[in-house]
């Protein structure tokens, strides 16, 4: 490569941290609610996009609490080095009851103004977006970025963390299958997701679960699970996996489902609740890439003086919606995929 070409490339790709001055726009980024793999990638994207656009960027620690306690720190390009592959969130996260009060929201807005912060990127779920709307109403432009393993945000086809959590659940259920198969047992596995059955549905279809119980589909063990096991037994199968979404497991405990199957069919059954293992771990490629796209998009909006929006994925593209419109949307469960699972997992 010639010296001239090398010099041009270096000049084009190099990033220079601008000098701080009174006029420089300042924004902040926080993570709120449950952590999700990929939150760090989103933080990194926000910090680097902001700095490259000539802004000052502050990291806020422990969700909205950081704005109430003044727990913030100015970030530079290196503050977010080597975090893209880390699970959890380097900014820590919290659920702040105090921030739900109007007085606290006004105080947080005043704190932002005192630091020259005119916009905040909030990475979290729809509870966090309600906080973002409240802070925008108090005068600080906020942009929400969907970060939760549950994929339960109606306005977006995808939430950062979902892919990693599903893949962790997949690996765990594959392991459980090894032992269930060795003992000719039935294993009932509960996965996370609150009232959203997406992790259960995807994990269930990917592991060939004989039955998948989700809050979105009404079920009866006697009508929908027992006959499926019996039908499969007749074809020679001797071990079974039942995947149960958290929203179902909270009402019908997986231990009780296991006891019911043992008594009703005389096969040994075991129950496992996967729990927080699904929230940890290095984010998958998909989570890192989507988080980077969403973080970039959020800062672009703030740079244009736009607030009160949520960054979303729709038809596979990154775009944004008004927060209230986004919060009022109703989730649509993928009934077609559920039907496919029920047809082929037998």
Write down the number of H helices and E strands in the chain.
13, 11
Q: Which residue from 27, 30, 32, 34 is in contact with ligand F6P, where contact means CB under 6 A?
A: 34
DSSP calls for 109-148: HHHHHHTTEEEEEEEE-HHHHHHHHHHHHTT-EEEEEEB-
Q: Which residue from 25, 53, 95, 115 is in contact with ligand ADP, where contact means CB under 6 A?
A: 95
Q: How far is the CB of 194 from ligand F6P (least distance, A)?
A: 5
100 contacts ligand ADP (rule: CB under 6 A)? yes
279 contacts ligand F6P (rule: CB under 6 A)? yes
3-state secondary structure 150-193: CCCCCCCCCCECHHHHHHHHHHHHHHHHHHHHHHCCEEEEEECC
163 contacts ligand F6P (rule: CB under 6 A)? no
282 within 8 A of 36, measured Cβ to Cβ: no
Catalogue the active-site residues.
Answer: 150
| DSSP bridge partners of 56 | 26
Helical ranges in 225-277 per DSSP H = 226-234, 246-249, 254-265
Q: How far apart are CA 82 and CA 92, in angstroms?
A: 16
34 contacts ligand ADP (rule: CB under 6 A)? yes
126 contacts ligand F6P (rule: CB under 6 A)? no
- Give 181 or 195: the residue with its C-beta nearer to ligand ADP: 195
Q: Which stretch binds ligand ADP (CB under 6 A): 48-56, 92-100, 172-180, 251-259?
A: 92-100
With CB under 5 to 8 Å by kind, the binding choice for 124 among ligand ADP, ligand F6P, none is: ligand ADP
- Give 33 or 197: the residue with its C-beta nearer to ligand ADP: 33
Q: How far is the CB of 164 from ligand F6P (least distance, A)?
A: 12
- Give 216 or 246: the residue with its C-beta nearer to ligand F6P: 246
54 contacts ligand ADP (rule: CB under 6 A)? no
Q: How far is the CB of 209 from ligand ADP (least distance, A)?
A: 27
98 within 8 A of 7, measured Cβ to Cβ: no
187 contacts ligand ADP (rule: CB under 6 A)? no
Q: How far apart are CA 332 and CA 104, in angstroms?
A: 34
Q: Which residue from 194, 237, 253, 264 is in contact with ligand F6P, where contact means CB under 6 A?
A: 194
Q: Which stretch binds ligand F6P (CB under 6 A): 110-118, 144-152, 219-227, 263-271?
A: 144-152
- Give 92 or 260: the residue with its C-beta nearer to ligand F6P: 92
Q: How far apart are CA 70 and CA 56, in angstroms?
A: 17
Element (H, E) at 76: none
Total residues at the site for ligand F6P (CB under 6 A)? 9
Q: How far apart are CA 112 and CA 121, in angstroms?
A: 13
Q: How far apart are CA 79 and CA 331, in angstroms?
A: 36
Q: Which residues bind ligand ADP (CB under 6 A)?
A: 32-34, 63-64, 95-96, 99-100, 124-128, 130-131, 134, 148
């Amino acid at each position: 490569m010639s010296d001239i070409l090398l010099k041009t490339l270096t000049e084009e790709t190099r990033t220079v941290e601008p000098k701080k001055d009174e006029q420089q726009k300042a924004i902040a980024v926080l993570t709120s609610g449950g952590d999700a793999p990929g939150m760090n990638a989103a933080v990194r994207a926000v910090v680097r996009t902001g700095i490259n656009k000539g802004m000052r960027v502050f990291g806020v620690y422990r969700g909205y609490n950081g704005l109430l306690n003044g727990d913030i720190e100015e970030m530079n390009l290196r503050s977010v080095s080597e975090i893209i592959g880390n699970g959890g969130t380097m900014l820590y996260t919290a659920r702040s009851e105090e921030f739900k009060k109007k007085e606290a929201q006004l105080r947080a807005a005043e704190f932002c103004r005192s630091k020259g912060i005119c916009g905040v990127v909030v990475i979290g779920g729809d509870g966090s977006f309600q906080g973002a709307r409240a802070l925008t109403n108090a005068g600080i432009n906020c942009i929400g970025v969907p970060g939760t393993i549950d994929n339960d945000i109606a306005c977006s086809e995808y939430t950062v963390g979902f892919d990693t959590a599903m893949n962790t659940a997949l690996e765990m259920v594959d392991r459980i299958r090894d032992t269930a198969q060795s003992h000719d047992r039935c294993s009932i596995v509960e996965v996370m997701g609150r009232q959203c059955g997406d992790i259960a549905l995807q994990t269930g279809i990917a592991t060939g679960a004989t039955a998948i119980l989700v809050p979105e589909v009404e079920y009866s063990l006697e009508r929908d699970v027992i006959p499926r096991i019996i039908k499969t037994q007749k074809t020679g199968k001797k071990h079974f996996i039942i995947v149960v979404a958290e929203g179902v497991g909270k009402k019908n405990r997986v231990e009780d489902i296991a006891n019911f199957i043992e008594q009703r069919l005389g096969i040994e059954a075991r129950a496992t609740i996967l729990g927080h293992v699904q929230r940890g771990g290095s984010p998958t490629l998909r989570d890192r890439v989507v988080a980077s796209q969403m973080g970039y998009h959020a800062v672009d909006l703030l740079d244009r003086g736009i607030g009160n929006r949520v960054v979303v994925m729709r038809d596979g593209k990154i775009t944004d919606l008004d927060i209230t419109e986004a919060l009022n949307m109703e989730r649509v469960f993928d009934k077609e995929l559920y039907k496919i699972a029920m047809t082929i997992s037998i």
